[in-house]
Amino acid sequence: MYWADQIKEASEKELAKMGFGQFFVNPNTRRLTLINDSLHPKHRNSFPIQPSLGWQKFDDKFLLWCPLGGEKVLTGESYPDIVHRPSDYSITEEEIKSLSKKDIFYLIANGLAFTFCGRLFLLPENQFEKNSFNYEIPNHDRLSVFVGYRGHSSNYAEIVTPSLLRKINSPTKEKFHRYKKLEAYGTNLVKQAFLERDNIYMTDIQARGILQHHKIEIDRELNGNTDILDLSYDINIAKWFALNSWNRKIGKFEKKKFKETEFEKAYEETSLVYQVVTRVIGGMDKILPIQFNGIDIQLVPWNLSPLWSERPERQKGFGISDIGPGDFDKNGAIMNIVEHRYHPKFFPNGWDKIGGTDLQLFGESYSIEMDTSHLESQILPKEKEWFVELKKTIERKSKNIHNKH
């Protein structure tokens, strides 16, 4: 018996009494919900949660990402109230105090720092685990950030907009609401499967990430598009996607070819890697002084999560939620986005600041001239049989629901 079907058919009174282990059912969305998923971060976060300004032009020529409370620092109108640095940072506190506004702008524009709520945060100089880092702030909640990467094989207008909401896919409110209803049903199937097979209670964003990363078609008209964006904490994965493009005709990736010799056309065919710094909203290390069904409760991030199953693990993937059309950041979660543009003729050194054009993947080194499209089988491996069957089940049952409506 599928819990998703029981939930779909239940009355509101029945929903209020339903429970499956640590899951209860949200009567408004009909989703299997964990108690730590249900507590909105606005009630447990000392930093503001509201829209950021997003893409802004500075000095009439620099298009930069402007996070929440970052406009005065970026325009040079004011110096950061406080500068936060990792304990092992090579620049001393005295040297930091002597930074000019131009120096600060340079650090942010080159992805070495970000500004947030009038403060400046210097990113670690060395590699850190899964590119997640905590800033311990006296008399304040810690600020946890994740540094992820995306690779684009062409110049797209939207950088962090999830596929469902991109302009090219003609998003509408009707499509979005239909998707969210089918998404609730699909994620309920995912949560039940992972709990029964691996005894894993998946958060909502983890289950939604499964639908995203595997292009599970809960609505065939949407071609597997979702409102989750995936990033990788391995820059080499992002470079691979920037240098290999999907060929719809043959149904696989192939080495990208640079053909254009005129600047304007070549600009559109550049390969791009984006560094995206995102803050963690809502998570806490501490166990709360409450229990649910005898289990201690620990609050989990509201807006991002590692993606589960073998494919995203190979890609070292994270899923990010709550980004709207046109890169609209409704919770002020995106701290910085920095573009690195490569083209053999016009931007040959465009990736120098991110380690150059060589790729380091699966223990091997590959130069820009080499065809790495054969790595698709390792980056996008076939899932195990049970997961393939789960995908088929979700698509079949979602199709039945869609046809009935």
pLDDT in tens, the chain (405 residues): 899 999 999 999 999 999 999 899 999 999 999 877 766 665 555 789 999 999 999 887 789 999 999 999 999 999 998 999 888 888 888 888 899 999 999 999 999 999 999 999 999 988 776 788 889 888 778 898 999 999 999 999 999 999 999 999 999 999 999 999 999 999 999 999 999 988 888 888 889 988 887 788 888 787 888 999 989 989 999 999 999 999 988 889 999 999 999 999 999 999 999 999 999 887 655 444 444 455 554 456 778 876 555 554 555 778 899 999 999 999 999 999 999 999 999 999 999 999 999 999 999 999 999 999 999 998 888 878 888 898 899 989 888 776 665
Q: Where are the alpha helices (DSSP H) in 60-203?
A: 71-75, 93-97, 101-109, 173-198
Joined tokens for residue 103:
């120096």
CB 55 within 8 A of CB 65: yes
Question: Would you say 345 and 275 are in contact if contact means Cβ atoms under 8 Å apart?
Answer: no
What are φ and ψ of residue 65, in 5° steps?
-80, 130
- The one-letter code for the residue type at 15 is L
Q: Please, which residues bridge with residue 324 across strands? A: 328
pLDDT at 130: 73
245-248 contacts, C-beta under 8 A, 24 or more apart = 245/153, 245/154, 246/153
Are 147 and 276 contacting, i.e. CB atoms less than 8 angstroms apart? yes
How far is it, in rounded angstroms, from Cα 152 to Cα 91? 33
165 CB burial (10 A radius; 0-12, 13-18, 19+): buried
Q: Per DSSP, what are the bridge partners of residue 380?
A: none
**Residue 135: its H or E element:** strand 132-135
Terminal-residue alpha carbon distance, the chain = 22
Report how far residue 177's alpha carbon sits from residue 185's, in angstroms, rounded to the nearest whole number.
13
The conformation of residue 124, written as its DSSP 8-state character, comes to P
Classify 352 as helix, strand or coil.
Answer: helix
| CA–CA separation, 68 and 81 (whole Å) | 14
Separation in Å, CA 75 to CA 48, 100, 327: 21, 13, 21
Decide: 322 and 164 in contact? Cβ < 8 Å: no
Name residues whose C-beta falls within 8 Å of residue 14's C-beta, 6 or more positions apart in sequence.
Answer: none
Q: Where are the beta strands (DSSP E) in 136-286?
A: 143-152, 229-232, 244-247, 252-255, 271-279
Q: Are 52 and 66 in contact (CB under 8 A)?
A: yes
CA angle 307, 311, 316 (to 5 degrees): 55
Element (H, E) at 225: none
| CA angle, 292 then 298 then 304, to 5° | 120
Residue 258 to residue 390: CA distance in whole angstroms: 39
Q: How many residues are given for the chain?
A: 405
- Predicted local confidence at residue 388, as pLDDT: 86
Element (DSSP H or E) covering residue 361: strand 359-361
